[in-house]
Amino acid sequence: MPRLFTAIEVPEEVGLILSGYRGGLSGARWIDVENYHITLRFLGDVDEETAQEAAYLLGKVRRAPFEVTFEGPDAFGGARPRSLIVKVAPTPALIELQAEHERLMRRAGLAAESRKFTPHVTLARLRDASPRAVADYLGLRGGPPGLSFRAEQFVIYSSRDSVGGGPYVLEAAYPLR
Ligand code: 3AM
């Protein structure tokens, strides 16, 4: 059963800039640059029929390309930090695209996603990283100033790794136009 999610890819040159955040935090499992992405909708482990219906419905999306802008590094998990991220600006175009994926995936039969959408690129999964070490890491790092790129398509990725972090396989791509 494929484990699927929809996402915006991070262009290679942008990924290289973001890779400057790698290092300097013990307990971090750094994501490979080629696996950087912005998750839109996690589908989970779906059967083949649902996967095909989801892929078909996503083909109905008609939206223009838009700018993706980065805000800065942060962590998820609070007192028990679990991942290091770079936040992405929640611009209307990105929020509306994500909301449309949510609607379409419910139409495909998936349960509603209860988590609030916080657009981000995951840089590292954290295991046994202390909140203090994470705060120190973040305190020393700002930016990435003015980094943005134009999203020209969204994709479906599959993943076999239940821990997260890739490798991800591109299953389908949908142009924004
Ligand atoms: O790499 P990011 O943070 O963009 O966190 C998982 C990862 O997101 C997320 O889906 C992406 C690909 O694995 N994910 C994993 N399990 C999830 C779940 N049960 C989930 N998102 C929502 N619900």
pLDDT tens sequence across 27-49 = 999 999 999 999 999 999 999 99
Distance 163 CA to ligand 1 centre (A): 9
Q: How many domains does the chain have?
A: 1
Range of the domain at 120: 3-175
- Of 90, 76, 35, 69, residue with least CA distance to 144: 69
Select from 3, 4, 5 the residue to mutate for testing ligand 1; criterion: most ligand atoms less than 8 Å from CB: 5
* Average pLDDT of the residues of the chain: 95
Cα 121 to chain centroid distance, Å, stands at 5
CA atoms of 25 and 137, how far apart (whole Å): 7
CATH number at residue 8: 3.90.1140.10
| Ligand 1 atom, smallest distance to 37 CA | 4
- pTM here is 0.95
Instruction: List alpha helices for the chain, DSSP H.
Output: 12-18, 48-58, 92-107, 131-139
pLDDT of residue 83: 98
Tell me the average pLDDT across 148-177: 90
Tell me the average pLDDT across 8-31: 97
